[in-house]
Every structure is written in C-alpha cells, then in structure tokens.
Structure 1
C-alpha cells in the first residue's frame, strides 16, 4: 500500500480557517475593525494572522480602525463587510471593546458583520441581556467562537446570529520559523491580570526570577511607544500613516516575542497565545488554565492533537502534565 503522509494538526487548524471564506469570500471588500494597539502580543498574533488571511485570500481591506479611532457614524458602502477582530474580549471583562462591538452592530443593521474567532465570558446576566437585545436585531451577523462553552452560550442566547466553531486566527501564521537553538531550559510565561487562575500559583511562587508576561517582555521605552501610538490614533483618527507605522512596529513586537521563546527548550504558560505561539514554533509547551477555563477549553477542542502541546493541572503543589503521544509525567516545581 502507498505510504500516505499524515497532515500536521497545526496545518489542519490553518486549513479550517478557510471555512470563513463562506461569509467573507475571496476578493471581498472589508473594513477591519478593533485591531489591537497595545503590548499584549497575543492580540498582535491574532492581528498578524488575520492580515495574513486577508492577503492569502485576496480580501481587500479598504480601511482599518482600532478602538481608538473608529467613528461608528461613518458612511460605509453596503457591499463592504465589517470584520471585527477576534480574541478573548467578548463579554463584560473588557468594556471598551464590547461597547464598540455593540455600537457597530446597532448602527449598521444592513451590513454583513463578521466577528472573527472569540472566547465569550460574562460575569453579569444584565450585561449579557444587553448584548442579546442588540445582536438579535441584526439579520446578517456571523460569530465565530474558539471554544464549545462560548459556542453554546451564543447558540442559547443569540438565535438570530450565525454561530460557528473556529480556531484562533493566529493559526494562519503556521509555521513560524526561527533561528538558533535553545540555550535555556524553561520559560514560565504567566498572565498577571484579572484572568490569572489559581492553578498557575504553583509555578509562579517557585520561579519568580524566570517568569514573564506580555507587559514584562517589553521594556519601558517599547511600552511608551505603544502608548504613543494609541494616543496618536485618538488625536488623528483614521490616519493611514499612523496605522502603517503601528503595523511595522507591531511586527517588531511580535518578532521580539518569537526570539525570546526561541531561547527556551520548553514554555510553561497560562497565556493562551503563549501556548499558540509555542505550537506555531513547534516548541514543547505546557498550558496552564486561566481563571474561567478558556485555556483548557481551547486545548481540548483544537490543540490536543499537537504533539508538542501538553495540558497541566496542579496536584499537591506539583504540575501534573497530560502529554500527547508520550507517557504521563509529573513535574515538581
């Protein structure tokens, strides 16, 4: 029998993104809205994947807008599709982005609106009801969800929206090459914000000197430039020159993250995009859950077949790793 070469799981995830072409056909004209202007490289990876998806499929981006410079009253041709940046800010944890999302859906009832793959989380039933009341009035609204819990919530509460499961847009970047060999054993890349879960404490408490997050990956001058870019977009809304400058600078920020990850044999991370970046680089990694199960939900649905990816849980102060294609191991920290 002929030897049939098995497709890599990361290639499968990249190919799955092609299903988005059902609602954003090749050569469409789009407005790309809510692209990130901050130092969270996870969102920057999503943006780079999104831009690569547009380029690979001859999708014409007429204009780009961040949360700082979009005017929800602007006149947009009816045949142009409004494409909103994906990520993990759908819900009531990140109010600025959710407010923009709801204003766009409310103010453009006759346009096709596509929300690229998102994780959905609400703390407040009232906030959920507000979104439901706005979204369910729209007749051509398409939502892509990164995990089953988000998909179920949208399916239950948003009957007029077209909901589909889809991996993160950063998978369009597969594979990410890098130079050199690792010179260090392990990087703890742990989130230090409202989504930090109890499970990462066993790692962080023992390895503080070797722990990073997106905001500590960059120095104060690099973060200052990010703040300057955001302020400039507020003052000069829609400036093509500033937008171009940000796209070039964000390339630098992403490349710095790739160079840092390349130095380590293994990445332990509670950042979903620490995990995804490691997978894109084919680098061994251990994913630790966040506060509400976003990371484990993503792993179980999409990346569990990637043989460099492992899911962690804490048992008696140790990290127990559930590996792929190798014997289970327990790593004490």
Structure 2
C-alpha cells in the first residue's frame, strides 16, 4: 500500500472515533500539551488539533500542560463540554506527571465527558494500575482510545470503560512533504530515554559519518522567542485574551518542533529508528525506513496494528538485523518500481496558531 492510501485510512479512523463522541460546534478542552523537546508528541498535538477542528469547527476553549492545569480557569473558559486528554505513549507509570494529571481530572470532573486520545499503556507496578482502575471506575463517562492490541487487551482486562483501537493522532497531519534533499544514505534516529533498549549498536559504526541523533534537544531561548511570536500573532488578529495567546503559543512551539524533526529525518535517503514517531513521520513523508522496537514493544505493536501494509517499512529486532534490512528495502523498492530517492519538495506542516 502506498503512504497516501494508508494515511487516508488512518485519518478517517481517527475522525470516526472522535465523531462518535462529539459533534460540530462542540466546545472542548485539550489537556497535556507536550511542552518538552520530544518531537513525536508535538506531531500528536498538531494532528489532534487538525482532527478536532475538522470535527467541531473550533479550536479548544481551554488548554494546559501536565503541570499547569488550573481548575478555576478551566471552568471559567469551559462551563460545560468534554475534556480531551492528549494521546501518546505516556499512559501508565513511566511518565508520572502525565498520569497524575489524568487521575486528577478523572476524580475532580465526574460531571464531564472525558476522552483519552490514542495512547500506548504500560504499567511497571501493578499498584499504579489499580489506582488508575479505581479512578476510571469512579467516572461514568470516560472513553479510552488505544493505539495497539497489547494496550487494548490490557484496558479490556483491567479497566471498566469503553475502549477503542484507534491510530496515532499524528496521522491527523496528513501526507507531509520532505523539507530537504537527502544528504546521507542513511540517518539514525535512536532514543536516549527510559524506553531505550540495551542494544549492541556497534553494527551501525559501519555506516561511518552519518547522522546519529535523538530529537530531544532544542536551542536556548526557545520559549521566550515563541512567546513573542504568539503575542504578535494575537495582536495581528485582534484577539489577545490569555487563552488566545496560550493556544497560539502551543501551536507555534509544536510547529517549530515538528519541522525540526522532519528536517532531521529528511537528511537520510533512508532511516533507521527506534522511535514510534520516527516511523510515523517517515511514513507521512514517504521515506523508507527500518523500525526497531522500544523496551516494551509499542513500536512493532503499532506497526502490526496499523502500518505494516506500507511499502516503505521493515521491522528489525536489533541493529545487526537493521543493517541487513536496508538491503531488503532496496529490493522491495525495485520490485514495486518506485524510485529509491524521494523528490525534494516544500514542507507544508503549519497549522494556524
């Protein structure tokens, strides 16, 4: 399957899931903005905004990060209406601040419909899973979307709530164009965080001087610059409430982070990655790539659930296998008669802030 067909199928699945719970003209909150450097979560944010705007025709009435949710400001901005919790890979006890926000919202807003957008679920401690199960059981209108079958089974077995298998919300961005011509035969996007596997990476040394990075760093002054940009955008539009500035700021920061990630990936004619959104963003740009897994299987699980039909992806269990799989991609490209090297095009990723 080519990437455009696969992306269209994923977008429609996300829209159907969201549309089953809210309709046009609905005011809503979107919580847990990813105000950190992991590019994949910014892609999720922007894809989510795109889908919610298509379904409702509106930007969110209230937004917050995991750490700055203000219940008083939330109620003033949205006296009634549903709460969306951003999707991603942080449902569980690996990333505590995000789970703490979910528990807080479930306990304090039992009168609101709460929709957890597509997540991967991982608990390392059963006690934490039971705490989440208790919070969900106390809420009568909580709806959960998950990204792969392992998470679906876990929720069905442990939580008392409706659960639906839904693609990652980054697919809401639609097909993206490569922002630069490839400069290297391959680039390596490899994680440096808590989900990293203890692979033997020495086979990658055979590539020589190619990019080998993670995408969790950004320049100093990032926040100050984007606050100035957001204020300027709001002044131009004549809408300068604190909420207007915050929505503009979040979207501007997410766009900048997304563009950084796309540019990093596009350096390579092909990519080897162990990040789920390395895989997803390569798919959105139609870049052939090899996907290794994280420490609990969410990347290969996601591919098995949604993206395995894509012609430009193969899975590997370790770096040595990943190196050999690059040849498999070459053979596959020859068999389906498509060019190895993508054409340089202008990137179109920005959403209105």
C-alpha contact (below 8 Å) 2:116/2:144 kept by paired residues: yes
The residue that corresponds to 2:90 in the other structure is 89
Please list the CA deviations of residues 202-249 of structure 1 after superposition, one character each: whole Å capped at 9, or x if unmatched.
556666963111124x344548869999xxxxxxxx654244234213
C-alpha spacing 1:162/1:326, structure 2 compared with 1 (3 Å): farther
The residue that corresponds to 1:234 in the other structure is none
Shift of 1:57: 2.1
RMSD (CA atoms): 3.1
C-alpha contact (below 8 Å) 1:81/1:111 kept by paired residues: yes
Give 5+ residue unaligned stretches, structure 1. Answer: 230-237, 329-333
1:163-182 equivalence runs, <5 A: 163-182=163-182
Deviates more, 1:260-269 or 1:127-136: 260-269
The residue that corresponds to 1:276 in the other structure is 280
C-alpha contact (below 8 Å) 1:30/1:59 kept by paired residues: no
Deviates more, 1:220-229 or 1:270-279: 220-229
TM-score (norm 2): 0.80
Shift of 1:79: 3.9
C-alpha contact (below 8 Å) 1:305/1:324 kept by paired residues: no
C-alpha contact (below 8 Å) 1:28/1:80 kept by paired residues: yes
The residue that corresponds to 2:194 in the other structure is 194
Structure (1/2) with the larger helix percentage: 2
Structure (1/2) with the larger strand percentage: 1
The residue that corresponds to 1:260 in the other structure is 264
C-alpha contact (below 8 Å) 1:176/1:281 kept by paired residues: yes
CA distance in structure 2 between the aligned counterparts of 1:318 and 1:28, rounded to whole angstroms: 46
The residue that corresponds to 1:64 in the other structure is 63
The residue that corresponds to 2:7 in the other structure is 10
Deviates more, 1:8-17 or 1:245-254: 245-254
Q: Do residues 115 (structure 1) and 116 (structure 2) align?
A: yes
CA distance in structure 2 between the aligned counterparts of 1:208 and 1:119, rounded to whole angstroms: 35
The residue that corresponds to 2:125 in the other structure is 124
The residue that corresponds to 2:104 in the other structure is 103
TM-score (norm 1): 0.85
The residue that corresponds to 2:301 in the other structure is 297
Give 5+ residue unaligned stretches, structure 2. Answer: 230-241, 334-353
